[in-house]
A and B are shown apart, each in its own frame.
Chain A
Amino acid sequence: MTGSLALTVVLNGLTLAALYFLVACGFSLIFGLMRTVNMAHGSLYLIGAYVGYAVFEPLYDQDVWWAWYAGIAAGVAAAAVFGVAMQAVLLGWMQGQELRQALVTIGISIIVADQLLAVFGGTSRQFFAPDAIFGSTELPIAGRYPTFRLFQIGVAVMVGLALWLLLARTRLGLMIRAGVDDRAMLTALGVNVPLVSLAVFALGAGLAGLGGVIGATAQPVAQGVDARFLLTSLVVVIVGGMGSIPGTAIGAILVGVAEQVGQALFPTYSVILTFAIMAAVLALRPQGILGRPA
């Protein structure tokens, strides 16, 4: 493998990691505060992508320059609203019953996948990025590289920083961190924990929706993608540590780069590499790289 090819593979891995991070950090956030394993997280990704596309397409046909940004806003909003509805209607009142919550979200994911198939059909769809981030950029050593993929990394870094600021510097972040540590105590202090839970669900689901639109710009979205992103979210947070945002970033980079390197070196066996990493982490640190013991 030549140097430039190797660098391209690593860059591909990082762009994939950026997408995985966007999707998985919402999963991790929700799990961290509410101990809810959101098996419908892949469905939120699909909702973001499809609803975003439904808004994007007519605007794009009219050649409006902000079509893509409107798609992002619609996708994020749709996923966030759906996530809040899930938490408010179904999950909120069975707080603490982890397995039951997981089963409920599985039921939701079955219904959502089927209804999206009914509404949007089985054909795959892809967003067209706006001109500013379309085309390719000249990089040292690696050569020409798609601009959108670099943009993807930028978005992930920005989201990561924003999340860190939110958690470390704001009152909401303070409440979320306190809730992760001791939910009962936070309630006793007079904080409206169900409301904080709704906010976290909106945030986590919105991030999945954002991932959906960005992911559907980088590569086409179709039915069945929800399973892939649910799996990825699971593996990333298992490797990185549940509920930890830096852990999710490390997990996403490990999994994304391993996937791309694996596909370059031994194409049909690359999945095994991902799971070897997961098994190794579980054997040495069951709580994940940056996770705290349960």
Chain B
Amino acid sequence: MTPGTARWALPASLALLAVLALLPLAIPAFWTANILGRAIVYGIVAMSLTFLATYGGFVSLAQMMIAGTAGYAVAILVPGAVPSILGGVPYALAIPTGLLAATAMGLLVGLISVRTQGIYLLMITLSLGVGVHLFVQANIAWFNGYEGIRNVVGPEILGLPFRDTFVFYYTALATAALLYALVLYLVRTPFGLALQALRDNPRRVSALGYDAPLHRIAAFGVAGFIAGAGGILVTFYNIGISPGTIGLGATVNILVMSVIGGLGHPVGAFIGAVIFTLFDTFAADLYDRDRFNTLVGVVFLAIVLASPDGVLGMARRLRDALAPRPQGRADGIATSRAASAGPPASGNGA
């Protein structure tokens, strides 16, 4: 992001939020719940990955599993779930517990992977994610195995059921907006700056006296919290949770969303989520109904090959091509920023 766009980031974000808040009045309920709402809840999970990748250079494939940790924690605790594992804990208590569980899981993933970089980190987080998936699939006592836990309907908000399209949509939108603001705020704090320094030159940051491992683990904790919020909403959206929710396919979907949107700014996660959801919903009409995954794979491959920094990167290049070039203005900053905003692979080769 060049300094020019930074000035517009806040007004643009607020305008986008306003559009998203007013849109349900104009579009059918199906679009509100199953396209926008769904894109937002999965986008939150994808944003936790985008946050780690953009500002820390950590491509973590454990984020859907961490989201599922929160979802499972809530499903285990709340009343009305089928089967009832513990049950009877009100949502007001279950949701914070779920967020706590996801944050703890995020910290744990960060701790386990703390000494690994780049592609190794990707492998380790992926195996942790798939490992937990296999574990919940095999374990009946706590997670009801393959079947998962159904009928997690969500709390009542202001006396309205969560299943109501608008209650669900506006809760998801408000959560996403808050977490988005949290990320943008956090990366300007000393913690966020240290994190970005860590991405660009870990040795130098350590030499300056920062506790690099601690910053890394904390970043994973923050990402865990974000993913957890997304995971709880995903669970309410699906009215339950099963191992498939956190399997390899789901993990890859989150990565696809983040990459399609672009690892470079948190908004990319939501752009990617909307594109993915549109595909998911309408691919059946475009191509063979059963071969949806082939289409997703081809589109993903095409984007990775053509524009590794996703739609955001495409937009940036398009703008650079169209805009008249300012003469000799802070070129050094612009190029170094452009380099670091590219795919994280450039900065953290093993």
Contacts and interface: CB of A to CB of B under 8 A. Distances in A.
A191 interface: no
A279 B294 contact: no
A278 B255 CA distance: 23
B30 interface: no
Nearest to A269: B139
Interface residues of B, number: 47
Interface stretch (A9-17, A106-114, A157-165): A106-114
Given A97-B308, A100-B345, A103-B308, 5 more contacts: A103-B255, A107-B304, A115-B291, A234-B124, A278-B124
A234 B259 contact: no
7 contacts: A102-B122, A106-B255, A106-B300, A110-B294, A228-B134, A271-B134, A282-B115
A221 B133 CA distance: 20
What DSSP secondary structure best describes chain B's contact surface?
helix
A238 B139 contact: no
A118 B116 CA distance: 38
Interface residues of A, number: 43
A231 interface: yes
A110 B344 contact: no
B214 interface: no
Central interface residue in A230, A234, A242, by most chain B CB within 10 Å: A234
B298 A235 contact: no
Contacts of B124: 234, 238, 278, 282
B108 to A, nearest CB: 9
B62 to A, nearest CB: 12
B131 interface: yes
Given A97-B345, A282-B116, A286-B116, A110 B127 contact: no
What DSSP secondary structure best describes chain A's contact surface?
helix
Interface string A255-294: 0000000000001111110110011001100100000001
B159 interface: no
Central interface residue in A99, A118, A238, A267, by most chain B CB within 10 Å: A99
Contacts of A103: 255, 259, 300, 304, 308
Contacts of B134: 228, 231, 271
Nearest to A270: B138
Contacts of B160: none
A104 interface: yes
A57 interface: no
B118 A98 contact: yes
A111 B300 CA distance: 10
A110 B131 contact: no
Nearest to B308: A100
B301 A104 contact: yes
Nearest to B143: A268
A99 B345 CA distance: 5
Given A118-B290, A294-B350, A99 B300 contact: no
A103 to B, nearest CB: 5
Contact of B127 (A97, A114, A234): A234
A196 interface: no
B17 interface: no
B131 A107 contact: no
B278 interface: no
A234 B89 CA distance: 39
Contacts of B346: 97
Nearest to A227: B248
Contacts of B135: 269, 271-272
Interface string A60-80: 000000000000000000000
The 9 closest A-B pairs by CB, nearest first: A99-B345, A110-B297, A107-B301, A111-B297, A114-B293, A286-B115, A227-B248, A98-B119, A114-B294
A146 interface: no
A275 to B, nearest CB: 5
A19 interface: no
B349 A96 contact: yes
A175 B294 CA distance: 37
A82 to B, nearest CB: 15
Given A99-B119, A238-B127, A278-B127, A268 B138 contact: yes
A35 interface: yes
A63 to B, nearest CB: 35
Contacts of B193: none
Contact of A35 (B131, B140, B350): B350
B255 A231 contact: no
Central interface residue in A96, A108, A114, by most chain B CB within 10 Å: A114
Interface in B108-140: 112-113, 115-120, 122-124, 126-128, 130-131, 134-135, 138-140
A286 B128 CA distance: 15
A100 B345 CA distance: 7
A37 interface: yes
Contacts of A114: 291-294, 297
Contacts of A185: none
A12 B271 CA distance: 48
A96 B113 CA distance: 22
B1 interface: no
B44 interface: no
